[in-house]
């Protein structure tokens, strides 16, 4: 493919921006990113958020090695302003289910042996041990075990999206933003059978934008443009909540490591600009499945309220605070929301050419809730795919099996408990607010 030919990237989130950047660095000069939000950071991106964990410990070496490369790249001057290597505590509470305990043990065994991590790993099995790394903890940490990893932290994700967007714009990468001009409604094809090829995209203002390659980086929404992806990628959401701190409270908690309690949830040092303290409960998440068994976030279909978190998640977060910062445990949660990502049964990404498109369409999907940390290096894998003409990494290939409606099992360590449907949660939330009013 000539470097002058038009490339359309659908979605200006973490992976779309990274792809635009790396394509440009590899010499491609005719790149346009289409984004449905009217500014970047896009409020629809899974990374539209104060912070995301950047850690490299996985239960196997493939993603560990990639994440270590990503952490190095976060330290580059372009990405460095958004990266904070505060350290990372991983733990389970005294009442954690066996699965959470087992996955913690596996992770600890793997990092303790790893030559890069080993010097910075400290196993923790008493509350005093934890408090050595986060002296601000005043809660009991009843039955907590875990470890501290020095080589990890978080990135300010919304600021990273904004910074990389502005950088890309100065490089001459084009951006078309907004509900009408920036929303891609359709991939435009010519030909049939073996000669079928995508020649560009149509946007909500009915304009057709020609493209030699169309790259779908539209996160949890991608199956709305590419229905066959919905056979093995499901839109899923997790809850996010915040506590509004005072200036003193915010200063007091500055510098704490990211603390991830695998059966309850995780939190970060507070954001100094907004003084918000962000928390995420952990669990199997919530989907929005239609009659065919495909889950797509409600924005595309009927918009639904998403500015609440389910009662079960609120209970987990209150318990997390009682164990760590009890003075905060009864404070109201603000800016509550459900946040959507693209999940696969085995938690593998899908970075591949779309079948029956003559290699004219590439899909970047299946982030499975662990894709943001890769932002500095992700786009390199897309350039490699484009230049190799095939996906050489088996695990990132397009899946042919229809996995809808099947039991996805519990092979993935974070998928603790049972996933639920958004419609049930909305009914519950409505009943809850009705009961509160009565």
Tell me how far, at minimum, the Cβ of 43 lies from ligand FAD, in Å.
Answer: 8
Q: Which CB sits closer to ligand FAD, 50 or 129? A: 50
Question: What DSSP assignment string belongs to 4-65?
Answer: TS-EEEE--SHHHHHHHHHHHHTT---EEEEESSSSSS-TTSTT-SS-EEE----SSHHHHH
Looking at the Cβ atoms of 129 and 222, the one nearer to ligand FAD is 222
Judge whether 190 and 199 are in contact, CB under 8 Å.
yes
Cβ contacts of residue 379 below 8 Å, gap of 6+?
A: 15, 18, 19, 20, 21, 22, 23
H or E element: which one contains 152? Answer: none
The interface region with ligand FAD, picked from 80-88, 140-148, 219-227, 407-415 by CB under 6 A, is 219-227
> Applying CB under 6 A, does 339 fall inside the site for ligand FAD?
yes
Cβ of residue 247: shortest distance to ligand FAD, in angstroms? Answer: 26
> Scanning residues 8 to 27, which ones bind ligand FAD (CB under 6 A)?
10-16
- CB-CB contact of 34 with 201 (8 Å): yes
CA distance 103 to 309: 26
The contact mask relative to ligand FAD for 356-395 (x = CB under 6 A, - = no) is -----------x-xxxxx----------------------
Greatest alpha-carbon pair distance for the chain in Å reads 67
Does residue 129 bind ligand FAD (CB under 6 A)? no
Does 183 help bind ligand FAD (rule: CB under 6 A)? yes
> What DSSP line would sit under 163-209, residue for residue?
HHHHHHHHHT-EEEESTTTT-EEEEEEES-GGG-EEEEEEETTS-EE
If DSSP codes are grouped into helix, strand and coil, which group holds residue 366?
coil
* Residue from the set 24, 52, 148, 316 that interacts with ligand FAD by CB under 6 A: 52
Q: Does 341 interact with ligand FAD (rule: CB under 6 A)?
A: yes
Give the list of residues 6+ apart from residue 221 with CB closer than 8 angstroms, or none.
Answer: 11, 44, 235, 296, 297, 299, 300, 340
How many residues bind ligand FAD, per CB under 6 A? Answer: 37
The nearest distance, CB 27 to ligand FAD, in angstroms, is 23
Binder of ligand FAD out of 184, 211, 229, 386 (CB under 6 A): 184
Residue 87 found at the interface with ligand FAD (CB under 6 A)? no
Sole binder of ligand FAD in the list 107, 240, 245, 321 (CB under 6 A): 240
Site for ligand FAD contains 230 (CB under 6 A): no
Query: H/E element holding 252?
Result: helix 247-253
**Contact letters for ligand FAD, residues 257-296 (x by CB under 6 A):** -----------------------x----------------
Nearer to ligand FAD, 129 or 257 (CB): 257
The span from the CA of 309 to the CA of 231, in Å, is: 27
Give the residue with the Cβ less far from ligand FAD, 323 or 343: 343
Query: Closest separation between CB of residue 246 and ligand FAD, Å?
Result: 25
Q: Considering only residues 27 through 46, tell me which ones interact with ligand FAD, judged by CB under 6 A.
A: 34-37, 42, 44-46
Token digits of residue 119: 């010097």
Binding site for ligand FAD (CB under 6 A): 10-16, 34-37, 42, 44-47, 52-53, 182-184, 217-219, 221, 225, 238, 240, 280, 339, 341, 367, 369-373
């Amino acid at each position: 493919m000539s470097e002058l030919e038009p490339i359309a990237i659908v979605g200006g989130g973490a992976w779309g921006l990274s792809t635009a950047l790396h394509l440009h660095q590899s010499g491609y000069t005719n790149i346009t990113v289409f984004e449905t939000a009217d500014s970047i950071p896009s409020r629809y991106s899974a990374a539209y958020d104060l912070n995301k964990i950047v850690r490299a410990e996985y239960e196997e070496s493939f993603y560990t090695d990639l994440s270590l490369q990503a952490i190095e790249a976060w330290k580059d001057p372009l990405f460095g302003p958004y990266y904070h290597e505060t350290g990372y505590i991983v733990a389970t509470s005294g009442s954690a289910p066996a699965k959470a305990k087992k996955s913690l043990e596996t992770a600890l065994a793997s990092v303790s042996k790893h030559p890069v991590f080993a010097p910075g790993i400290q196993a923790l099995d008493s509350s005093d041990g934890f408090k050595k790394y986060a002296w601000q903890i005043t809660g009991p940490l009843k039955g907590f075990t875990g470890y501290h990893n020095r080589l990890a932290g978080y990135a300010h994700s919304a600021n990273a999206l904004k910074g990389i967007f502005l950088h890309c714009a100065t490089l001459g990468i084009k951006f078309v933003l907004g509900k009408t001009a920036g929303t891609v409604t359709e991939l435009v094809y010519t030909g049939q059978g073996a000669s079928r090829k995508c020649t560009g995209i149509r946007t909500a203002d009915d304009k057709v934008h020609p493209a030699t390659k169309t790259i779908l980086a539209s996160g949890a929404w991608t199956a709305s443009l590419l229905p066959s992806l919905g056979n093995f990628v499901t839109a899923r959401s997790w809850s996010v909540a915040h506590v509004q701190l005072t200036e003193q409270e915010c200063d007091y908690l500055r510098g704490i490591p990211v603390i991830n309690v695998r059966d309850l949830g995780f939190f970060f040092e507070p954001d100094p600009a907004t003084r918000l303290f962000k928390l995420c409960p952990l669990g199997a998440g919530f989907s929005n499945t239609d009659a065919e068994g495909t889950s797509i976030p409600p924005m595309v279909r009927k918009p639904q309220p998403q500015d609440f978190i389910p009662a079960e998640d609120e209970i987990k977060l209150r318990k997390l605070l009682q164990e760590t910062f009890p003075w905060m445990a009864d404070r109201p949660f603000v800016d509550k929301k459900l946040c959507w990502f693209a999940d696969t049964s085995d938690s593998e990404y899908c970075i591949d050419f779309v079948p029956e498109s003559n290699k004219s369409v590439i899909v970047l999907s299946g982030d499975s809730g662990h894709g943001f940390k890769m932002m500095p290096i992700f786009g390199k894998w897309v350039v490699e795919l484009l230049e190799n003409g095939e996906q050489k990494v088996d695990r990132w290939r397009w899946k042919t099996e229809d996995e809808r409606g099947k039991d996805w099992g519990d092979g993935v360590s974070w998928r603790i408990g049972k996933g639920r449907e958004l419609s049930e949660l909305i009914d519950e939330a409505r009943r809850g607010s009705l009961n509160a009013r009565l």
